[in-house]
Amino acid sequence: MRAISIGLLGLGTVGSGVVKIVESHQDKLMHQVGCPVIIRKVSVKDLQKERQVKIDSHLLTDNPNEVLEDPEIDVVIEVMGGIEETKSYLLKALRNRKHVVTANKDLMAVHGPELLKEAAANECDLFYEASVAGGIPILRSLVDGLASDRITKMMGIVNGTTNFILTKMSKNGSEYESALKQAQDLGFAEADPTADVSGMDSARKMAILSTLGFSMTIDLDDVQIRGITEISKDDLSYSQKLGYTMKLIGLAARDGEKVEVSVQPALLPESHPLASVNDEYNAVYVYGEAVGETMFYGPGAGSLPTATAVVSDLVGVLKNMRLGVNGRSAVVPQYPKALKGPEDIFAKFFVRLHVKDEVGVLASITSMFSEYGVSFDKILQLPLQPREASEIVLVTHRASMDNFDQIVERLNDYEMVKEIKSIYRVEGEEVI
């Protein structure tokens, strides 16, 4: 079999890792696919830029069309990032009957269905394992390993930057800004960390995961998003006193035919496996009706871990080429979109209140919750300075989001409540 030629769009951190793996693992690739794999052309923005990997300068071009239109290139690997311009490049590649491997979560979350449809129309593969959790093979596990099961819930830490920040805040007592700067200094956070700390990065990944896991087209706008910028050291301290660990959790849950997808800071019992996932690591907890509970853990970013996922997708493309089955792996979502409303979502909630330090306030608040059928699992009450105020920290039993939202409105209007300091969901506990 002739050598397979690949072209790269981008030669940054991940692209450099791909080049290293392809060049150093030729014997492994030859064994897997039965032929040599060569890098024919690499599109970059700046031809003079110093590279993280040694590469023949004759392979470099600043014209993407030299990759997209080269008839000798079989597979295009996209690791340049971006959305609209990159989408146009990949559509062009697919229409030129080139298979595509991408690590671009932003692109796949926004335009994934359109690109997959174009790939199928042109009998091309479009693989994107590296778009969700770096080196963790979660997409392949959902599509292949758990293909016969019915997934009911996926819950995970899918952003290394925010997990690093929360780890330093909870374990070391760091302030948010200090932990963020440390993450930036170590290369775990971008100079502009907005996509990470706002939860948007995690939301894009959860849209991709839930679309595959539930066989239902979930758009980015369907994901409820809340980031970590408002989390205080007091929130983390009280969480720990009550036996919880705070994590930015991506959650996708299905009950019957309806689903909910969200990204938000949530409290996990310290005994839960996700609670021990620290620093820049990622993990995804998957619940299946047949398999039960499984967890996928590993580095969520970095040059070689992410490049490993990219090259694994490349091997999948090459095996399909050898079998003559390219373009047949994409499965059209089986179910129409059906999202849960507030009345369909049930959870436990952590609530921290500053109230007037007067007799009967806690009793009145308890009565207010009980009117909606909501009771308390845990309660802390502590004095504040000045003494005319006190702090109440409570964790509810399970309640509907609809009822809880009404309670929050009542608390906001209650004259004895000076301020609702924070509210978080509690996940990972047995149903009570």
pLDDT 10s digits, 26-35: 998 888 888 8
Answer whether residue 156 is part of any domain.
yes
CATH number where 94 lies? 3.40.50.720
Confidence tier at 432 by pLDDT (50, 70, 90):
very low
Please tell me the distance from the alpha carbon of residue 282 to that of residue 135, in angstroms, as a whole number.
Answer: 9
Same domain membership, residue 164 and residue 279: yes
Catalytic residue among 98, 153, 168, 205: 205
Give the number of domains in the chain. Answer: 3
Longest dimension (CA), the chain: 84
The pLDDT, as a whole number, for residue 333 is 80
Same domain membership, residue 395 and residue 261: no
Owning domain of residue 215: 138-299
Answer whether residue 333 is part of any domain.
no
Answer whether residue 334 is part of any domain.
no
The pLDDT, as a whole number, for residue 1 is 62
Q: pLDDT, tens digit, for every residue of 135-170?
A: 788 888 887 778 788 999 999 999 999 999 999 999
CA atoms within 13 A on the CB side of 332: 5
Give the chain's end-to-end CA distance (angstroms, integer).
60
Same domain membership, residue 160 and residue 84: no
Please tell me the distance from the alpha carbon of residue 320 to that of residue 194, in angstroms, as a whole number.
Answer: 39
The pLDDT, as a whole number, for residue 431 is 42
CB-CB contact of 392 with 380 (8 Å) = yes
Answer whether residue 336 is part of any domain.
no
Please tell me the distance from the alpha carbon of residue 233 to that of residue 173, in angstroms, as a whole number.
Answer: 7
Q: pLDDT, tens digit, for every residue of 181-201?
A: 998 888 788 889 999 999 999
Q: What angle, 0 to 180 degrees and rounded to 10, lies between the N-to-C axes of helices 26-33 and 13-24?
A: 70
Same domain membership, residue 292 and residue 149: yes
CATH number where 398 lies? 3.30.70.260
Q: Which two tokens stand for residue 291?
A: 């398999």
Q: pLDDT, tens digit, for every residue of 297-326?
A: 988 767 788 899 999 999 999 999 988 888
Is the pLDDT reported for residue 80 higher than 80? Answer: yes
Same domain membership, residue 420 and residue 363: yes
Please tell me the distance from the alpha carbon of residue 379 to that of residue 376, in angstroms, as a whole number.
Answer: 7
The pLDDT, as a whole number, for residue 329 is 73
End-of-domain residue from the set 299, 333, 357: 299
Q: Which of 63-67, 106-110, 407-411 has the lowest mean pLDDT?
A: 106-110
The pLDDT, as a whole number, for residue 420 is 96
Q: How far is CA 251 from CA 42, 215, 272, 287, 426, in A?
A: 37, 16, 15, 11, 12
CA angle 126, 132, 133 (to 5 degrees): 130
Q: pLDDT, tens digit, for every residue of 323-382?
A: 888 887 766 788 899 999 999 999 999 999 999 988 899 999 999 999 999 999 999 998
Per residue, the 3-state secondary structure of the chain, as one string, reads: CCCEEEEEECCCHHHHHHHHHHHHCHHHHHHHHCCCEEEEEEECCCCCCCCCCCCCHHHEECCCHHHHCCCCCCEEEECCCCCHHHHHHHHHHHHCCCEEEECCHHHHHHHHHHHHHHHHHCCCCEECCHHHHCCCCHHHHHHHHCCCCCEEEEEEECCHHHHHHHHHHHHHCCCHHHHHHHHHHCCCCCCCCHHHHCCHHHHHHHHHHHHHHHCECCCHHHCEECCCCCCCHHHHHHHHHCCEEEEEEEEEEEECCEEEEEEEEEEEECCCHHHHCCCCEEEEEEEECCCEEEEEEEECCCHHHHHHHHHHHHHHHHHHHHHCCCCCCCCCCCECCCECCHHHCEEEEEEEEEEECCCCHHHHHHHHHHCCCCCEEEEEEEECCCCCEEEEEEEECCEEHHHHHHHHHHHHHCCCEEEEEEEEEECCCCCC
Cα dihedral: 152, 153, 154, 156 (round 10): -160
**337 among known catalytic residues:** no
Same domain membership, residue 357 and residue 248: no
**pTM listed for this prediction:** 0.89
Answer whether residue 89 is part of any domain.
yes
* Over residues 63-72, mean pLDDT: 97
Please tell me the distance from the alpha carbon of residue 249 to that of residue 266, in angstroms, as a whole number.
Answer: 6
- What's the mean per-residue pLDDT of the chain? 92
Same domain membership, residue 190 and residue 55: no
The pLDDT, as a whole number, for residue 190 is 83
* Over residues 27-56, mean pLDDT: 90
The pLDDT, as a whole number, for residue 152 is 95
Answer whether residue 83 is part of any domain.
yes
CB-CB contact of 255 with 344 (8 Å) = yes
CB atoms within 10 A of CB 196: 25
Q: Which residue has the tokens 């769009």?
A: 9
Read off φ and ψ for residue 280, nearest 5 degrees. Answer: -90, 5
Same domain membership, residue 247 and residue 220: yes
Answer whether residue 328 is part of any domain.
no
Is the pLDDT reported for residue 415 higher than 90? Answer: yes
CB atoms within 10 A of CB 336: 8
CATH number where 188 lies? 3.30.360.10
Q: Which two tokens stand for residue 184?
A: 């930036």
Same domain membership, residue 117 and residue 159: no
Cα dihedral: 267, 268, 269, 274 (round 10): -150
The pLDDT, as a whole number, for residue 385 is 76
Confidence tier at 134 by pLDDT (50, 70, 90):
confident
Same domain membership, residue 232 and residue 146: yes
Please tell me the distance from the alpha carbon of residue 405 to that of residue 303, in angstroms, as a whole number.
Answer: 43
CB-CB contact of 83 with 77 (8 Å) = no
Same domain membership, residue 389 and residue 282: no
The pLDDT, as a whole number, for residue 430 is 60
Same domain membership, residue 391 and residue 250: no
* Over residues 375-392, mean pLDDT: 88
Answer whether residue 143 is part of any domain.
yes
